[in-house]
């Protein structure tokens, strides 16, 4: 089993572990639909770049 020759200092250890963090998703408010959307994704109402992409079915499948 590999054993370190020297003990890792607190500073080196904290610098290495300091890069492990979560990033907030890039969310923007779409004024056309009035809802928040992830960048480069279709909005929940089915609009992308101001154009309807997905049409929702109003039919009941049952």
Residue 1 has pLDDT above 80, yes or no: no
CB 46 within 8 A of CB 54: yes
pLDDT at site 12: 94
Q: Please, which pLDDT band fits residue 5 given cuts at 50, 70 and 90?
A: very high
CA 36 vs. chain centroid, Å, equals 13
Question: Is 47 exposed, middle or buried, given 0-12, 13-18 or 19+ CB atoms closer than 10 A?
Answer: middle
The pLDDT tens digits of the residues spanning 20-56 come to: 888 888 898 888 788 888 888 888 888 888 888 887 7
Q: Is the pLDDT of residue 16 over 80?
A: yes
Q: What is the pTM of this model?
A: 0.48
């Amino acid at each position: 089993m590999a054993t370190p020759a020297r003990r890792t200092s607190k500073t080196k250890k904290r610098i290495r572990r300091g890069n492990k963090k979560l990033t907030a998703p890039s969310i923007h408010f779409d004024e056309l639909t009035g809802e928040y959307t992830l960048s480069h994704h279709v909005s929940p109402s089915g609009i992308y770049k101001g154009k309807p992409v997905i049409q929702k079915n109003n039919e009941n499948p049952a």
